[in-house]
Amino acid sequence: MKEQLERLIELQKIDSKILDKKRMIDEIPLRISEAEFPLNESQTAIDKIKQRHDSLELKKRGKEKELDDINEKIKKLKARTTEIKTNKEYQAHLKEIESIDKERSTVEDEILIVMEEIDTSSKEIELGRAKFRTEKDKIEALKKKLESEMLEAERELLPLKEARSKIVGVIDEEIYKRYISLFESYNGVAVIEAKDEICQGCNMNIPPQLFVEIKKDEEIIHCPQCRRILYYKNST
């Protein structure tokens, strides 16, 4: 029995290491997608500016068309100047030209404002893209690091799994079944230290008589409360 307990302690050590590595590997996709989150945010911000940029371009084209129409109107008006007979008609004609000229300069000013806005949004897009590239580089580097960590962990798993099957081969089948059932119920901890008369798994006080037995490390003894297999770690 003493040997069986020693093997169980060893198996628990190996299984804890395997579990740690598996958990670490499982977390990697989540860590990558968390790292990618700001990248998605940056892209959304760029898309938003781009949308505004496009609508400004559209507005500019509309205003330019408006300006073309006004210029055409002015051209036609000026062509009519020679047909004017009276002074009164001439005054009215000049007024019309003046008013349409005013309209033209308003549209020209509006075009200038839109062009400035387009310029600003172009710069914002450029800045956004630069930020995106920096973030993407950072994430790529992190991805590479995590992927190599994952490969490393997978490599380290191989000898652990080998050691595990070796030890399982020399553990009594019935005891192994008990171990596995506890391992699954208790999140990977089936064999645990009994320290200062306390089960380190469930914190229950171990009756002194039982603790004496555990200290011998000869029998497979279960915690009276959580059923985990207990052992005593000799500090010497």
Q: Where along the sequence are the contacts to Zn ion (CB under 5 A)?
A: 199, 201-202, 204, 223, 225-226
For Zn ion, the closer of residues 210 and 226 by Cβ is 226
CB of 181 to Zn ion, least distance (A): 15
For Zn ion, the closer of residues 167 and 192 by Cβ is 192
CB of 14 to Zn ion, least distance (A): 22
For Zn ion, the closer of residues 162 and 219 by Cβ is 219
Q: What backbone phi and psi angles, to 5 degrees, belong to 87?
A: -65, -40
For Zn ion, the closer of residues 60 and 222 by Cβ is 222
Question: How does 198-216 read in b/e, with b if 16+ C-beta sit within 10 Å?
Answer: ebbbeeeebeeebbebbee
CB of 222 to Zn ion, least distance (A): 8
**Rounded to whole angstroms, what are the CA distances from 214 to 140, 207, 218?**
52, 10, 7
**Nearest residue to 180 (alpha-carbon basis) of 220, 224, 233, 229:** 229
DSSP state letter for 223: -
CB of 174 to Zn ion, least distance (A): 21
Q: What backbone phi and psi angles, to 5 degrees, belong to 71?
A: -60, -40
